[in-house]
Chain A
């Protein structure tokens, strides 16, 4: 599938591939049709994490990408060698080895010490910033840029990697499933009697450029489900409504918070990996971007629909010119989803 090479310039342009595991079929729609697939009693759950600028350059041959923040305020980061944003991560040079105790400056008054190095990969380090509080955040926002993608035609600005409803800057990459959802769409969805709810999930790095390290993704990522969101989502299920997760980050947060069977509020870290046959305690449906078979993202979709159906529908999407990745088109995996449109066509 071809990647979208730039953020969309206007809302509502994304296509929507609807995959219905009940009928074993799929159909082509526009993102503008999305509200019609939901009804009174359903709950749509967003990830309200804003995206941090998580890429820090030490020198021309060394980039550090923040991956995950630990409770003590230190960060897991990964080193990349030289190369600009057009160079795919797997082709980036080998970064110089970072040694424990090294102090590193990033400019704009931001600096950190390497406090540990992963025994299996010297590219993975733990950083302790020397600044804290408002000085840290101010300097981080000045010194860092958003993580870039080689398939884009232009570098991304901070505003390109935000969802319309983002709040706490926990994500190091855009939780991109929510990107097509503007407030016109969200208000139309809410007007149908759908509860629009949210969790916060620190969506992590999508690629390290190294197959062995990629196999260790996702690292444990922070999430939080507020009491009011948990109550709203449980109430939707109790009345027979469907819970639609917007993105894999929401799915992982909700399922991690439902490990005991029912959804509980609270915050924790999760490295939960979902795939074919994973039991889903809370999520009934998924709105997501399109990512190719073989990725961990695709594997998570298999918790919602059988592989054969996903592959068939993705081949169709490719033929039809759907665009993949962060700024691409969307898919909705919803049991009985196509029945809605059949009824509409019949009526």
Chain B
């Protein structure tokens, strides 16, 4: 997909990978809607993009709340037009320190699924309909190594990301004939606040920069050779064209 002129929506855009993705997409000419639970966290990023001559808008929404989905899709589409590129980046880790499944409260598990799985499903359902009609669009699901490997203590998050990968596959199977792409991408270990919350002892110097990973993900979105429904690693972006 050509990024220039594209209407893009990025969830979880107030920091980390989401912020970096919004900046990279705007730099490449996309009209970007940044979403986060608090608007004020987005405003400096929107200002930075606009100062560089890009187009960006901030919208507040809680992806875990059913009531927020249509207002988010409606407001975003009013601002930048029908969404061509939807990036499900917002994620809920669950309570930290991370804990065993047997020690996880059901309500915490539900909240993680609400934000990481139901939110993306609901938003894709609203925005994907227009993509299917227009026969144009890409839905990117930000996944994790924890989606394919079972690590102790990563239960709720891990389960939500495994299901998110499969959501990406099923959407791809259903929408391929309408030229809508859906894939998931494992960003790898990054120097972000979420990573620090999950693994406080990790050495940040060994972790990838969000900006670098964002440019890999944008390269994957541009690439035509990523199979629809695939799960790809961001660090492997160079293998696709």
A residues within 8 Å of B by Cβ?
46, 48, 50, 52, 133-134, 137-138, 140-142, 158-159, 162-169, 183, 186-187, 196, 198
How many angstroms between the C-alpha atoms of A134 and B77 in the bound complex? 11
Query: Would you call B79 and A168 a contact (CB within 8 A)?
Result: no
Known: A134-B58, A168-B81, A169-B78. A142 touches B133 (CB 8 A): no
A-B contact count (CB 8 A): 71
Query: Would you call A137 and B79 a contact (CB within 8 A)?
Result: yes
Give the residue name and chain of the B residue nearest to A141 (CB): B71
Minimum CB–CB distance from B126 to chain A (whole Å) comes to 8
- A-B contact sample (13 more), CB < 8 A, given A165-B133, A167-B81, A168-B78: A48-B130, A52-B74, A134-B57, A137-B74, A138-B60, A138-B75, A142-B71, A163-B129, A168-B82, A169-B74, A169-B75, A183-B132, A187-B178
How many angstroms between the C-alpha atoms of A196 and B139 in the bound complex? 22
How many angstroms between the C-alpha atoms of A309 and B70 in the bound complex? 40
Known: A162-B70, A167-B82, A168-B81. A141 touches B75 (CB 8 A): yes
B70 contact from A48, A158, A163, A168, Cβ within 8 A = A158
User: Can you name 27 A-B residue pairings with CB atoms under 8 Å?
Assistant: A48-B133, A50-B73, A50-B74, A50-B77, A137-B78, A138-B60, A140-B75, A141-B70, A158-B74, A163-B129, A165-B130, A165-B132, A165-B133, A166-B129, A167-B81, A167-B130, A167-B133, A167-B134, A168-B78, A168-B81, A168-B82, A169-B77, A186-B133, A187-B178, A196-B133, A198-B133, A198-B134
Residues of chain A within 8 A (CB-CB) of B81 are: 167-168
How many angstroms between the C-alpha atoms of A109 and B126 in the bound complex? 26
B75 contact from A46, A48, A137, A186, Cβ within 8 A = A137
Q: For chain B, what secondary structure do more than half of its interface residues adopt (helix, strand, loop), or is it mixed?
A: helix
Query: Would you call B75 and A134 a contact (CB within 8 A)?
Result: yes
B59 touches A (CB below 8 Å): yes
Residues of chain B within 8 A (CB-CB) of A162 are: 70, 126
Residues of chain B within 8 A (CB-CB) of A137 are: 59, 74-75, 78-79
Most buried by B among A50, A141, A159, A167: A167
How many angstroms between the C-alpha atoms of A159 and B65 in the bound complex? 13
Query: Would you call A165 and B129 a contact (CB within 8 A)?
Result: yes
Query: Would you call B75 and A168 a contact (CB within 8 A)?
Result: no
Minimum CB–CB distance from B195 to chain A (whole Å) comes to 29
Contacting A at CB under 8 A, from B72-100, are 73-75, 77-79, 81-83
How many angstroms between the C-alpha atoms of A168 and B73 in the bound complex? 9
Residues of chain B within 8 A (CB-CB) of A196 are: 133
How many angstroms between the C-alpha atoms of A141 and B33 in the bound complex? 16
How many angstroms between the C-alpha atoms of A141 and B59 in the bound complex? 11
How many angstroms between the C-alpha atoms of A141 and B79 in the bound complex? 13
How many angstroms between the C-alpha atoms of A187 and B178 in the bound complex? 9
Binary per-residue interface labels of chain B (29-68) against chain A in the complex, 1 for a CB within 8 Å, 0 otherwise: 0000100000100000000000000000111100000000
Query: Would you call B59 and A134 a contact (CB within 8 A)?
Result: yes
How many angstroms between the C-alpha atoms of A138 and B60 in the bound complex? 8
Residues of chain B within 8 A (CB-CB) of A183 are: 129, 132
Closest 3 CB pairs of A and B: A141-B71, A137-B75, A167-B130
Give the residue name and chain of the A residue nearest to B82 (CB): A167
How many angstroms between the C-alpha atoms of A183 and B129 in the bound complex? 8
Minimum CB–CB distance from B212 to chain A (whole Å) comes to 29
Residues of chain A within 8 A (CB-CB) of B129 are: 163-166, 183
Query: Would you call B60 and A166 a contact (CB within 8 A)?
Result: no
Query: Would you call B57 and A133 a contact (CB within 8 A)?
Result: yes
Give the residue name and chain of the A residue nearest to B70 (CB): A158
Query: Would you call A167 and B59 a contact (CB within 8 A)?
Result: no
Minimum CB–CB distance from A222 to chain B (whole Å) comes to 13
Residues of chain B within 8 A (CB-CB) of A198 are: 133-134
Minimum CB–CB distance from B10 to chain A (whole Å) comes to 14
How many angstroms between the C-alpha atoms of A140 and B71 in the bound complex? 9
